[in-house]
Structures are given as structure tokens and as C-alpha cells.
Structure 1
Amino acid sequence: TSSSVLHLLLTRHIEGGRGRGVNIWDGFSHRYPEKSGSDLKNGDTTCESYTRWQKDVDVMGELNATGYRFSFAWSRIIPKGKVSRGVNQGGLDYYHKLLDALLEKNITPFVTLFHWDLPQTLQDEYEGFLDRQIIQDFKDYADLCFKEFGGKVKHWITINQLYTVPTRGYAVGTDAPGRCSPMVDTKHRCYGGNSSTEPYIVAHNQLLAHATVVDLYRTKYKVSCLNT
């Protein structure tokens, strides 16, 4: 029988909104349902992997999957965005159970730390990736994940498709957080922005956040995690 790696599943698409904090796609999809796809749906209710994770893993086993790429929801682990404001034990427990079930079936987890679902609190406070404060908050979030799950996860992705948030979120406004210049916003759906500058600022800060987290992993975790 053949084997395969199942990949690129966003928490927003599969987990649902139960048991986590608000992220920027929640407000965006409610405010602009026409941008959320042909079915005009938000992420409040999905295929509910948050509660049906065991069935998902069982199906992967039946498919002879050897790997599974998925993302952690920052707002599920740290609902208010910053580690200093509290960590959601329920979120940690959920991902531990999922990882344990995958490993039990010899399915290798490939985990993405950020797949565009930034906690809304960080967007409200300092416009998220438009401000360099995000670098420390992303580092703290990654540090927690490496410490908590490093014994089970050996393959990490920092930021999914780094170009997507700057271009679609800040240049044309078709994705969260939905910012763009008035000249681009012909249908008046952006809530502000500058398509000439903001995409480059966001991309730069994402690169800095990526580099910071890579350095953190290499200097603090790589040897210990690979030896477990």
C-alpha cells in the first residue's frame, strides 16, 4: 500500500472556535463574509477537529499516512497573545493528545507555528506585524511551544507562506486583517492602510520574527529535542 503526508491544514479551517481566544480572521470573516469563500462562512464552526481529533487520526491511519502537517493556533495556546497574560492549559492538552495519537500510529507531525491567525489582541494593541513588538511576542510563543512539545515535534515551520499576509492582508486587503490604500480599495472594504509601505514593513517584521525563532531553536532546543 502507498503512504502519504497529509499537509497544509489551517486551524481556522478545521478546529472551530471553541476553546480559544479571538484571532484576526474571526473579526475579518464576520465583517466581510464575502471574502471568506464561496460559502460565505466564518471559522466559528468547522469540521470540529478540536473535538473529533481522534477520528481524524484514525482516518489518517486507515490512509497509511506517514506524516501530518498542521498548525498550532496561537490564540488557542495563548488566548490574549502574550505569555505574560496567561497560557490556556486546555489548548496545550489538546495538542498533546493530538500529537500522542499521531505518534502512536507512526505519523510524523510537521507543525506550523503561525498560519495567519494572529491573536486579535495583538492586532488591536499595536497592529500586529506592522510593529516590531510582534517579534518578542512571537518568540515567547515559539519558546513555549518548543519547551512544551519539543519532545514530540521534530519538524517545525515558523510562518506559512511568508508572502501571503503582506500581499493579501496589507496590499490588497482580501485577507485578514484587511488593510490597503484607498486607491486599491475600490469596494470600500479595507479599514485603512497604505499599500505602498505596509506590505514591506510586515514582510520585514515577519523575516525578523522568523530569524529570531530559528536562532532560539538552534541555540536552546535543537540538540535536546533531536535527542529525545
Structure 2
Amino acid sequence: MTTAVAMLYPGHAAEDDYEFIEAAIGAVAPALEVRLPVLITEVESDDHTVEAMAAVGEQDRLADGVRRAQDHRPSSVMWACTSGSFVYGFDGARRQAADVARRAGRPASSTSLAFAEACRHLGLSRVAIAATYPEPLAARFTEFLTDAGIEVMALRANDIGTATEAGTFDGDGLFEMLEAADTASAQAILVPDTALHTAMWITDLEAEFGKPVLTANQVTAWEGLRLAGLSVDVPGLGSLFTTPPVG
């Protein structure tokens, strides 16, 4: 029986990460028939500003994605956007996800909420953030995590102006971002921005930095599967996919 997790994804940047994640899951658990269909939602501007990202997450845009997702008969639905969810604050992001769930008639969440859930799963309370965003937007993610009970030990805002530009980053640029953000007091490094290609490098990043690395598209897929009732051990997708819940 196929399990589909519908990904509502704003614009075009790194949506092919979900093809990589789907293939990695299929390689270790083909009998589960996991599918991660991507539904592109409307974007007027992909500027990394608070105002533009708030517009990206407006209800009517998500409602259109939910409507198109029904063709895939999803078991769960994810709003695959970090800044377009955390910009509303922790409570606002929960309301946003609840609205998607109501429209879809299925469990739903978002990338920001998935980061918080992944930290709980791994027992993480202190993190470093390697953010593509300019500081004003990155600071909103720090506030979101604080409200979720997670202490941010270090924040590196890389001042990348658009999601399109973030989508062009390669592995070397990603490693440099994390190196600049990491601190010994952080139990993990968080890499928000679903516009950033990360899936193929997660295990190398964890080996390099010696701690969990949680990235936007990775946590989104993991949370969607969790909401669908699936737990899959996939070594190629990092410690989040191989570690049982703490406690």
C-alpha cells in the first residue's frame, strides 16, 4: 500500500531534495511504497524578508496547494517552508498547520514545527543555526525555537537575499555555512530553508561536525512520515532517521 506525504512547496529551488529522500527510503524499505509528491504553491516574491515570507504562507496559497494535493490521496500534508511558517510565531505556525489539516482532512504540519518535533525526538535543547537568511528573518527563527523550548546557542545569518539564490548553493558552500555557525555548546546544527539543497550531504555533515545535523527538507519529510504513522530507518538521511525517540 502506497503512503503519500504531500509537500506544499513554495516556488522552485530545491524541491528535488524530496526525490532524493524518496529514493533513499525506497532503497531500504521498498515494500512501504513511500511517495513524496511536491505541489508548487504560488509565490509573488522569494525575497528573504519578513514581509515576503509572510505573504508566501498566506492561507489562500496553501488552500490551493491542499486542493491539488488531493489527487495524490495523501496520508499527511506538509507545508514545506520554514520561513513561511516561523514568521508567524510558534502559535501562529500551529494555527497555520491546523488550517491546512482542516482543509485536507489529514494530519498536517510545517517545516518549522517539524524542526521543533525533531529536536524533541532527539532530546535536543541547545542548538546552533546556520541560516541562509538575512539577520531580521533569521532572528524570527530564533524566537520561534525559543518559544518551542529550544535554546539557540549560536546563530549565523548568511544574508542570502532570495530562495532562488539559496537553491544554487553547493556542498562546499553548505559545509562552510555550518562551520561558521557551529559551537561546542550546541548539541546539533539546524539548517533552515527548504530552498537549500541538503539531503545528499547530511551524513557527511554529521561525520564532519560530530553531532546531529537537521535540515529543512529532511525534517519535513520525517515529520510527514511520522504523521502518517511511519518510522523508517534510513542511514543515508542522518541520525534523525536512525535514532529512536529519547525517553
TM bracket (short chain): 0.3 to 0.5
Larger strand percent: 2
Answer 1 or 2: higher relative contact order, Cα 8 Å, separation at least 6. 2
Give me the TM-score of the superposition, normalised by structure 1. Answer: 0.35
TM-score by length of 2: 0.33
